[in-house]
Amino acid sequence: MIRVAIAAASPVVKAGLEALVVSSPGMQLANLETPGADVVLAAGHFEAPENGGAPVVLLASDADAAFTQEQFQAGVRAVLPPDASPAAILAAVEAVVGGLAAIDPAELEALLGTARPALQSAEDNGTLTPRELEVLRMMAEGAANKTIAWKLGISEHTVKFHVASILGKLGAGTRTEAVTIGIRKGMVLI
């Protein structure tokens, strides 16, 4: 059981994060002031309190590369945008408890100072366009075609076209196989 403490200035955000933790199997709420939390899930600007050395997952708006680097140096182990999906937040919590770090893919590119090779050219065998990468990442989150279409503001038919193109470029037979290949190639971060 992962014990998660919540730190958020906004009562609404705190209540939302608490509801997410409570509804997640294998997780339970912990008190921030009481030692024993496995991870701290924080929203907004987080000043590392005495949290017993628990790793921190931070949801921060306007997190640029410099801010993200500062946070990692201060002991934060995951930095995500405040609009991160519940699945991404929970994955980050599990990752930091397992000793890993998590970061939004867009911030990783900025932090490294270079674009990822997958974005260089669609003509190279097996590389995807920026839109196809978006679709692949949403597929990795388990989003259905209808959901992807709604989030990207495109038709469901266009999503099907992108999925078929992704499968072809990656040499995958199924969506699951495409996501697996995408993870191996560094196109999808977990």
pLDDT digits (tens, 9 = 90+) for 84-117: 888 888 888 998 888 888 887 767 666 665 444 4
Domain count, the chain: 2
Domain boundary, last residue among 112, 133, 156: 112
Which pLDDT value is given to residue 15?
Answer: 92
Upper half-sphere CA count for residue 50 (Cβ side, 13 Å): 3
Could you tell me how many helices (H) and strands (E) the chain has, helices first?
Answer: 8, 6
**pTM of the entire structure?**
0.57
Give every CB contact of residue 70 below 8 A, 6+ residues apart in sequence: none
| % of the chain at pLDDT higher than 70 | 84
Which residue type is seen at 41?
L
Class of residue 147 by CB neighbours under 10 A (exposed 0-12, middle 13-18, buried 19+): middle
Within-domain flag for 189: no
89 lies in the same domain as 170: no
Domain that holds residue 81: 2-112
Which pLDDT value is given to residue 119?
Answer: 41
45 lies in the same domain as 125: no
Which of 47, 122, 58 lies closest to 88, judged by CA?
Answer: 58
Within-domain flag for 12: yes
Instruction: Specify whether the CB–CB gap between 68 and 152 falls below 8 A.
Output: no
Which of 148, 167, 168 lies closest to 157, judged by CA?
Answer: 148
Domain boundary, last residue among 112, 133, 157: 112
Residue 11 sits at φ, ψ, to 5 deg, of -60, -35
167 lies in the same domain as 180: yes
Give every CB contact of residue 90 below 8 A, 6+ residues apart in sequence: 20, 24, 27
Domain boundary, last residue among 50, 77, 112: 112
Residue written as token pair 């190279």: 124
Which pLDDT value is given to residue 18?
Answer: 92
Low-confidence residues of the chain: pLDDT under 50: 50, 114-125
95 lies in the same domain as 131: no
77 lies in the same domain as 157: no
Element (H, E) at 184: helix 175-184
Within-domain flag for 95: yes
80 lies in the same domain as 165: no
